[in-house]
Amino acid sequence: MSTIEFGFSLPTQPRMPRETYLKHLRESLDIVSGHFRSIWFPDHLQFQDTPVLEGWTALTYMAACYPAFKFGHVVLAQTFRNPALLAKMVATAQYLSEGRFVLGIGAGWNLEEHESYNFLFPKPGERLEQLEETLCILKALWTQPRTTIKGKHYQVVNAACEPKPDPIPRIMIGGSQPRMLRLIARYADEWNSSHVDITTYRERIKASERACAEVGRDPATLRRSWLGGCYCVPEGADVSNVDLSSFRSPNPQWKTPSAHPFVGTPNQIIEKLKPYIDLGVVSFLIKNERFPDTTSLRLLVEEVLPRLNALV
């Protein structure tokens, strides 16, 4: 079995002075450096009055500061960027980072930021059409000397993208609905699921495998990853005392610490990870739910990850 990888989903909302936020962010990255394989950042512009950093700029900066990590977004909204421009941005990121970029992309979902920033926000079916055209344009520009595509939503005419990205970046797409799963089966190298418990994930695996069968793909060739919050406490601690209200990404479905997929002691976290690994997950993109507290990150690095890889 492949080695299990951890990635660090960076905190996106600096609810503290800039100097304090950057100090704590660097502390966290220093802890996971050499242990986690990748860093990740969402792609959002606005959530009511909450401060939000722009994802591409923020992640590019952190990737330059920490050249040992692969890096990507969870996930880029295809509605924010012209596909040809995005192809060029990805190619440049891949060139300057010496091949460390992973393209995480999706159809976009947050109506508020689209309306506020004057981005079109068509119905879900049309956004999926746009995403498919985007993926076709990306792959063509990365592999062909010149590209002309006249799609329903996007067009490029005699477009060049030089230098080509080398290697072609891994494409990661998240989603769970049948039509999205078929698109993932056709175009993605990696399928990401976010904030999903093991019972739901088992059902999504079945749906993904059906989608792969419909498009003639071996599901074993589709890499699986999981994104979500994690909070690890020392052995012997009373997990029932963990206050979920202070988490970065609270989920109303998980009302108690025991119900949360990844809250617990190192032993408990390992036991909760195992069923996902048995279902083929090879990469966990972890949010530190108590940022800037680094207790959880230290335990993941020192106790969870080494023991986990000794088991697989």
Residues 217, 231: Cα–Cα separation, whole Å: 36
The CA–CA distances, whole Å, from 44 to 13, 54, 245 equal 10, 6, 22
Give me the pLDDT at residue 243, please. Answer: 84
Q: Provide the 3-class DSSP secondary structure of residue 40.
A: strand
Tokens linked to 270:
């390992």
Give me the pLDDT at residue 244, please. Answer: 83
Give me the pLDDT at residue 8, please. Answer: 98
Residues 124, 194: Cα–Cα separation, whole Å: 19
Query: Would the pTM of this model clear 0.85, i.e. be above it?
Result: yes
Question: Residue 1 carries which side chain, given as an amino acid letter?
Answer: M
Q: Both ends of the chain: CA-CA distance in Å? A: 6
Task: Give yes or no for a contact between 164 and 142, defined as CB atoms under 8 angstroms apart.
Answer: yes
5-311 CATH: 3.20.20.30
Task: Give yes or no for a contact between 76 and 104, defined as CB atoms under 8 angstroms apart.
Answer: yes
Give me the pLDDT at residue 271, please. Answer: 96
10-residue averages of pLDDT along the chain (312 residues):
89 94 98 98 95 97 97 97 98 98 97 97 98 98 98 98 98 96 98 94 98 98 96 94 78 75 94 97 96 97 95 84
Give me the pLDDT at residue 250, please. Answer: 61
